[in-house]
Amino acid sequence: MREELITPMSSERTFLSPRATRSLAWAAWGICILLIFSALTIWFLGGGNPLQHASVLLISIAFACFGTVGALIALQRPKNTIGWIFCLVGIGTGITDFSGAYTSFGTAHGHVLLPGSGIVSWLGDTIWPLNWGLMLVFLPLLFPNGQLLTRRWRIVSWLAVMLILLSMLTSQLAHFGPASSDSSWNDLGSLINLLELPLTIAALISLILRFRRARERERQQIKWLTYGTTIMATLIVGGVLLLPDPNGLFQLIFPVAIICLPLSIGISILRHQLYNIDVLINRTLVYATLTALLALIYFGLIFALQDLLGGIIKSNNDVVIVISTLSIAALFQPLRARIQRVIDRRFYRQKYDAARTLAAFSATLRDEVDLHQLR
């Protein structure tokens, strides 16, 4: 017998009044922003070059997005657990950010550690496993309505809670246990974190099953999550491959990529009309593919023309650049149309067939002159 889906209507009971819920959401947002602003101030006081300052600012904005989106969801959808998860992640990232800034401020300039640096460092390390567990397991497990797909998935949530608590415990033991055992506790913590991988895979399977069983609105919400996650992963992986220096421009790409996740989730839950996501995904596929192909053609033409015409143009590369640019301009529209047809045929088959049927019918109407045949 098929088990029924657990829907938001299955938990109508709330433990807080609407006023208390609003106060809690605003308090969570205020704590998150206060921690992030304090960390940002300490990072700036610590000095650094303009690139580092820009990176710190973008990271602060990315962390603040989690708390802000969480507060907005909690205010408008107080029964949706996703909002409260993001509130916790916002506070957690604020704590870890403040911990890193506070503990590194003195040592960065050869000064003594600030008062309470050990406690602040311990708190940041202890909270970090909670952030990862919430994002990697509970977000895909509960998205988008804040409920488990079925009761069978409770085992995943309970195992995730146990691993998070164990990871937090090993972090405490590594800080306050004997110095000789620090390495052992850290190794155990790494092993526990590795055990979260099967739970993350299980949560993703739950999300896929939810998508297959969901109605149109939930499907659009899951598409928004997938869209934001894909852009985030593409930017991070592309940045790692193309910009191997972590102290270079990758410092700016990483926080921009992180921002994509809370923004996409905020749009998916708070926005009422979600049906433009298919068009957005379609355009992203088309223009991402088009950009990659045009870049390959452009640089390929430059290298090829330099080899073929090297004796003619000598050291002047302007001719090669002009020829390559004109070629790209000429190829843009036909290549875009071709890519659009391929993507529509491969990923949007129903829309593609409907468009072809409509085009054929329009051609028939245009060429037909017999009124009886048209009827």
C-alpha count within 13 angstroms, C-beta hemisphere, residue 266: 16
Q: Are 126 and 168 in contact (CB under 8 A)?
A: yes
Q: Are 16 and 24 in contact (CB under 8 A)?
A: yes
CA–CA separation, 110 and 107 (whole Å):
5
pLDDT tens for residues 16-37?
788 888 899 999 999 999 999 9
Q: What is the pLDDT of residue 2?
A: 42
Q: What is the pLDDT of residue 29?
A: 93
Distance of CA 317 to the CA centre of its chain: 41
Other CB atoms within 10 Å distance of the CB of residue 70 = 27
Q: What is the pLDDT of residue 311?
A: 57
C-alpha count within 13 angstroms, C-beta hemisphere, residue 54: 12
pLDDT tens for residues 132-181?
889 999 999 999 888 998 899 999 999 999 998 988 888 777 766 655 45
Look up residue 334 and give its two tokens: 């036909």
Distances (CA, A) of 337 to 257, 262, 287, 340: 29, 33, 11, 5
pLDDT tens for residues 176-205?
665 545 566 667 767 777 888 899 999 999
Check residue 16 and give left, alpha or beta (phi > 0: left; psi -120 to 50: alpha). Answer: beta
Residues of the chain with pLDDT under 70: 1-15, 48, 106-112, 175-186, 189, 272-278, 280-281, 309-318, 347-375
